[in-house]
Amino acid sequence: MDFTDQRLSYEQGQLDQRSVPDSPFTLFKTWMDEALSKKVKEPYAMSLATCGADNKPSVRIVLLREVTETGIIFYTNYDSAKGQDIEENPNAEALFFWNELERQVRISGHIAKIDADKSADYFQKRPHDSQLGAWVSQPQSGEVANREVMEDKFAQLKVDYPEDTTVPTPEFWGGYEITIETIEFWQGRANRVHDRVVYSQDDHEQWTTKRLLP
Protein backbone atom coordinates (compact mmCIF):
# COMPACT_ATOMS: atom_id res chain seq x y z
CA MET A 1 0.00 0.00 0.00
CA ASP A 2 1.23 3.45 -0.82
CA PHE A 3 -0.54 6.55 0.48
CA THR A 4 2.07 9.14 -0.48
CA ASP A 5 -0.26 10.94 -2.90
CA GLN A 6 -3.13 11.10 -0.40
CA ARG A 7 -3.29 14.54 1.15
CA LEU A 8 -5.91 16.72 2.74
CA SER A 9 -5.61 20.38 3.52
CA TYR A 10 -6.79 21.25 7.04
CA GLU A 11 -8.66 24.53 6.96
CA GLN A 12 -11.49 24.34 9.45
CA GLY A 13 -10.19 26.37 12.34
CA GLN A 14 -7.37 28.11 14.11
CA LEU A 15 -5.93 28.34 17.58
CA ASP A 16 -4.27 31.51 18.82
CA GLN A 17 -2.09 31.09 21.90
CA ARG A 18 -2.78 34.72 22.91
CA SER A 19 -6.51 34.19 23.24
CA VAL A 20 -6.81 30.72 24.79
CA PRO A 21 -8.55 30.48 28.18
CA ASP A 22 -6.41 30.45 31.33
CA SER A 23 -7.49 26.92 32.18
CA PRO A 24 -7.00 24.05 29.72
CA PHE A 25 -10.09 22.43 31.22
CA THR A 26 -12.17 25.29 29.78
CA LEU A 27 -10.71 24.77 26.33
CA PHE A 28 -11.06 20.99 26.57
CA LYS A 29 -14.73 21.40 27.43
CA THR A 30 -15.29 23.78 24.49
CA TRP A 31 -13.60 21.39 22.09
CA MET A 32 -15.47 18.37 23.47
CA ASP A 33 -18.78 20.26 23.16
CA GLU A 34 -17.92 21.11 19.56
CA ALA A 35 -17.02 17.47 18.84
CA LEU A 36 -20.38 16.42 20.28
CA SER A 37 -22.32 19.02 18.28
CA LYS A 38 -20.42 18.06 15.11
CA LYS A 39 -21.64 14.49 15.78
CA VAL A 40 -18.15 13.04 16.03
CA LYS A 41 -18.81 9.37 16.77
CA GLU A 42 -17.54 8.58 20.27
CA PRO A 43 -15.53 11.78 20.78
CA TYR A 44 -14.65 10.41 24.23
CA ALA A 45 -12.70 7.50 22.68
CA MET A 46 -9.03 8.10 23.37
CA SER A 47 -5.81 6.28 22.60
CA LEU A 48 -4.05 5.46 25.85
CA ALA A 49 -0.31 4.91 25.79
CA THR A 50 1.44 3.16 28.65
CA CYS A 51 4.93 1.79 29.04
CA GLY A 52 5.94 -0.87 31.55
CA ALA A 53 9.33 -1.88 32.88
CA ASP A 54 10.22 -3.53 29.56
CA ASN A 55 10.35 0.00 28.03
CA LYS A 56 8.05 -1.06 25.20
CA PRO A 57 5.14 1.35 24.72
CA SER A 58 1.62 -0.04 24.24
CA VAL A 59 -1.38 1.84 22.96
CA ARG A 60 -5.09 1.04 22.88
CA ILE A 61 -8.44 2.83 22.86
CA VAL A 62 -10.37 3.38 26.09
CA LEU A 63 -13.41 5.54 26.78
CA LEU A 64 -13.15 8.77 28.72
CA ARG A 65 -15.83 8.60 31.40
CA GLU A 66 -15.29 11.75 33.44
CA VAL A 67 -13.30 14.94 33.50
CA THR A 68 -12.54 15.98 37.08
CA GLU A 69 -10.93 19.17 38.37
CA THR A 70 -7.52 17.55 38.02
CA GLY A 71 -7.70 15.04 35.22
CA ILE A 72 -9.52 12.43 33.20
CA ILE A 73 -10.98 9.08 34.22
CA PHE A 74 -11.48 5.83 32.32
CA TYR A 75 -12.40 2.33 33.50
CA THR A 76 -10.72 -0.98 32.83
CA ASN A 77 -9.48 -4.25 34.26
CA TYR A 78 -6.65 -3.69 36.77
CA ASP A 79 -5.14 -7.10 35.89
CA SER A 80 -4.90 -6.25 32.18
CA ALA A 81 -1.69 -5.64 30.25
CA LYS A 82 -2.24 -1.88 30.66
CA GLY A 83 -2.82 -2.39 34.40
CA GLN A 84 0.52 -4.17 34.62
CA ASP A 85 2.26 -1.35 32.73
CA ILE A 86 0.72 1.26 35.04
CA GLU A 87 1.83 -0.74 38.10
CA GLU A 88 5.40 -0.54 36.79
CA ASN A 89 5.35 3.00 35.44
CA PRO A 90 2.75 5.59 36.51
CA ASN A 91 3.23 7.86 33.48
CA ALA A 92 0.71 7.76 30.70
CA GLU A 93 -0.44 9.70 27.69
CA ALA A 94 -3.91 9.89 26.17
CA LEU A 95 -4.81 11.17 22.72
CA PHE A 96 -8.09 12.29 21.22
CA PHE A 97 -8.34 12.66 17.44
CA TRP A 98 -11.43 14.44 16.17
CA ASN A 99 -11.10 14.07 12.43
CA GLU A 100 -14.24 16.06 11.62
CA LEU A 101 -12.76 19.09 13.44
CA GLU A 102 -9.17 18.51 12.31
CA ARG A 103 -8.12 18.50 15.95
CA GLN A 104 -6.12 16.39 18.33
CA VAL A 105 -5.71 16.76 22.07
CA ARG A 106 -2.83 15.13 23.83
CA ILE A 107 -2.86 14.69 27.60
CA SER A 108 0.05 13.49 29.63
CA GLY A 109 0.47 12.94 33.32
CA HIS A 110 0.54 10.63 36.29
CA ILE A 111 -1.94 7.82 36.40
CA ALA A 112 -3.40 6.18 39.51
CA LYS A 113 -6.36 4.05 40.56
CA ILE A 114 -9.38 6.04 41.70
CA ASP A 115 -11.22 5.35 44.92
CA ALA A 116 -12.76 1.85 45.03
CA ASP A 117 -16.13 3.30 46.12
CA LYS A 118 -16.24 5.55 43.08
CA SER A 119 -15.45 2.62 40.80
CA ALA A 120 -18.17 0.56 42.45
CA ASP A 121 -20.71 3.39 41.99
CA TYR A 122 -19.95 3.48 38.29
CA PHE A 123 -19.87 -0.31 37.90
CA GLN A 124 -23.33 -0.56 39.45
CA LYS A 125 -24.66 2.00 36.94
CA ARG A 126 -23.48 -0.01 33.93
CA PRO A 127 -25.95 -2.19 32.02
CA HIS A 128 -26.39 -5.63 33.64
CA ASP A 129 -24.83 -7.53 30.73
CA SER A 130 -21.81 -5.21 30.56
CA GLN A 131 -21.28 -5.95 34.24
CA LEU A 132 -21.26 -9.66 33.43
CA GLY A 133 -18.89 -8.95 30.55
CA ALA A 134 -16.36 -7.54 33.01
CA TRP A 135 -16.46 -10.83 34.93
CA VAL A 136 -16.07 -12.83 31.69
CA SER A 137 -12.95 -10.92 30.69
CA GLN A 138 -10.83 -11.82 33.69
CA PRO A 139 -7.92 -11.58 33.41
CA GLN A 140 -8.29 -9.13 30.54
CA SER A 141 -5.41 -9.53 28.06
CA GLY A 142 -4.92 -13.19 29.11
CA GLU A 143 -5.09 -15.92 26.45
CA VAL A 144 -8.34 -17.79 25.92
CA ALA A 145 -8.67 -21.04 23.93
CA ASN A 146 -11.68 -19.99 21.85
CA ARG A 147 -14.84 -17.85 21.82
CA GLU A 148 -16.93 -20.70 23.23
CA VAL A 149 -15.06 -20.51 26.54
CA MET A 150 -16.18 -16.88 26.93
CA GLU A 151 -19.74 -17.56 25.82
CA ASP A 152 -20.09 -20.49 28.24
CA LYS A 153 -18.80 -18.28 31.06
CA PHE A 154 -21.24 -15.53 30.10
CA ALA A 155 -24.18 -17.99 29.94
CA GLN A 156 -23.29 -19.35 33.40
CA LEU A 157 -23.11 -15.82 34.80
CA LYS A 158 -26.56 -15.07 33.31
CA VAL A 159 -27.88 -18.03 35.34
CA ASP A 160 -26.03 -17.02 38.52
CA TYR A 161 -27.06 -13.36 38.23
CA PRO A 162 -30.49 -12.98 36.61
CA GLU A 163 -31.53 -9.55 35.33
CA ASP A 164 -33.03 -8.34 38.64
CA THR A 165 -30.04 -9.28 40.82
CA THR A 166 -27.00 -7.25 41.78
CA VAL A 167 -23.75 -8.18 40.09
CA PRO A 168 -20.90 -7.76 42.57
CA THR A 169 -18.28 -5.18 41.62
CA PRO A 170 -15.10 -7.08 40.75
CA GLU A 171 -12.04 -6.14 42.80
CA PHE A 172 -9.99 -6.40 39.65
CA TRP A 173 -12.02 -3.75 37.81
CA GLY A 174 -12.16 0.03 38.25
CA GLY A 175 -11.14 3.48 37.21
CA TYR A 176 -7.85 5.20 36.66
CA GLU A 177 -7.34 8.94 36.67
CA ILE A 178 -4.65 10.62 34.62
CA THR A 179 -3.76 13.78 36.51
CA ILE A 180 -3.01 16.26 33.79
CA GLU A 181 0.53 17.62 33.78
CA THR A 182 0.61 18.83 30.20
CA ILE A 183 -2.12 19.08 27.62
CA GLU A 184 -1.61 20.01 24.02
CA PHE A 185 -4.29 21.31 21.67
CA TRP A 186 -3.60 20.83 17.95
CA GLN A 187 -5.60 22.47 15.21
CA GLY A 188 -4.86 21.49 11.63
CA ARG A 189 -4.05 24.39 9.27
CA ALA A 190 -3.26 24.79 5.59
CA ASN A 191 0.17 23.87 4.20
CA ARG A 192 1.02 21.79 7.29
CA VAL A 193 1.62 25.01 9.28
CA HIS A 194 -0.63 23.79 12.08
CA ASP A 195 -1.41 25.46 15.42
CA ARG A 196 -0.15 23.77 18.58
CA VAL A 197 -0.65 25.18 22.06
CA VAL A 198 0.59 23.27 25.08
CA TYR A 199 -0.42 24.02 28.67
CA SER A 200 1.71 22.98 31.62
CA GLN A 201 1.59 23.78 35.31
CA ASP A 202 4.28 25.89 36.96
CA ASP A 203 5.47 25.45 40.58
CA HIS A 204 2.49 27.48 41.84
CA GLU A 205 0.03 25.25 40.01
CA GLN A 206 -0.77 28.02 37.55
CA TRP A 207 -1.17 27.01 33.95
CA THR A 208 1.23 28.50 31.43
CA THR A 209 1.06 28.08 27.67
CA LYS A 210 3.53 27.80 24.83
CA ARG A 211 3.06 27.66 21.11
CA LEU A 212 4.98 24.78 19.54
CA LEU A 213 6.24 24.37 16.02
CA PRO A 214 3.97 22.02 14.16
Per CB under 6 A, does 60 bind ligand FMN?
yes
Distance between CA 209 and CA 211 in Å, rounded? 7
Burial class (CB in 10 A: 0-12, 13-18, 19+), 193: exposed
Return phi, psi of residue 9, to 5°: -100, 130
Q: Is residue 192 annotated as part of the catalytic site, yes or no?
A: yes
In the range 136-175, which residues lie near ligand FMN by CB under 6 A?
140-141
Dihedral-angle region of residue 50 (phi above 0 means left; psi in -120 to 50 means alpha; beta otherwise): beta
Site for ligand FMN (CB under 6 A): which residue of 82, 106, 189, 194? 82
Per CB under 6 A, does 116 bind ligand FMN?
no
Cβ closest to ligand FMN, residue 175 vs residue 188: 175
Distance between CA 73 and CA 101 in Å, rounded? 23
Per CB under 6 A, does 63 bind ligand FMN?
yes
Shortest Å distance, C-beta 166 to ligand FMN? 22
Contacts of 14 (CB under 8 A, 6+ apart): 187, 189, 195
Virtual CA dihedral for 45, 51, 57, 61, nearest 10 degrees?
-10
Closest CA to 104 of 115, 90, 113, 93: 93
Per CB under 6 A, does 61 bind ligand FMN?
yes
Site for ligand FMN (CB under 6 A): which residue of 58, 89, 138, 182? 58
Per CB under 6 A, does 45 bind ligand FMN?
yes
Per CB under 6 A, does 74 bind ligand FMN?
yes
Q: Which of 7, 103, 192, 211 is catalytic?
A: 192
- Identify which range of 27-35, 70-78, 194-202, 204-212 contacts ligand FMN by CB under 6 A: 70-78
Alpha helices in 89-126 (DSSP H): 116-125
Catalytic residues: 192
Q: Which residues bind ligand FMN (CB under 6 A)?
A: 42, 45, 58, 60-63, 74-77, 80-82, 140-141
